[in-house]
């Protein structure tokens, strides 16, 4: 599997979101439901504001697709 993670992270809003792109890409291969991953992202980034939450969720989704 080849993923243009940097490009997808930039599309999500920040190169710093590359890790979420990769988590999204692997989300079909790990034994954790996608909904649980999204919940964890929301919990982890809520204190940083809705813009950061949304960016990370977008990166997660871009990586998944």
What residue segments make up the domains of the chain, in order of their start?
5-64
For the question of whether the overall pTM of this predicted structure is more than 0.85, the answer is: yes
pLDDT at 33: 95
Displacement of CA 19 from its chain's centroid (Å): 7
At residue 27, the pLDDT reads: 95
Res 1: pLDDT: 77
With a cut of 80, say whether residue 65 has pLDDT above it. yes
**C-alpha span between 36 and 23 (Å, rounded):** 12
Query: Which residues make Cβ contacts (< 8 Å) with residue 34, sequence separation at least 6?
Result: 27, 64
Length of the chain: 65
Q: Report residue 42 as tokens.
A: 């929301």
Read off the pLDDT of residues 18-52 as tens digits, 9 standing for 90 and up: 999 999 999 999 999 999 999 999 999 999 999 99
């Amino acid at each position: 599997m080849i993923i243009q993670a940097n490009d997808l992270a930039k599309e999500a809003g920040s190169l710093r979101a590359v890790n979420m792109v990769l988590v999204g890409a692997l989300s079909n291969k790990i034994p954790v439901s996608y909904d649980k991953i999204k919940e964890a992202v929301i919990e982890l980034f809520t204190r940083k504001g809705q813009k950061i939450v949304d960016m990370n969720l977008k990166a997660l989704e871009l990586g998944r697709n």
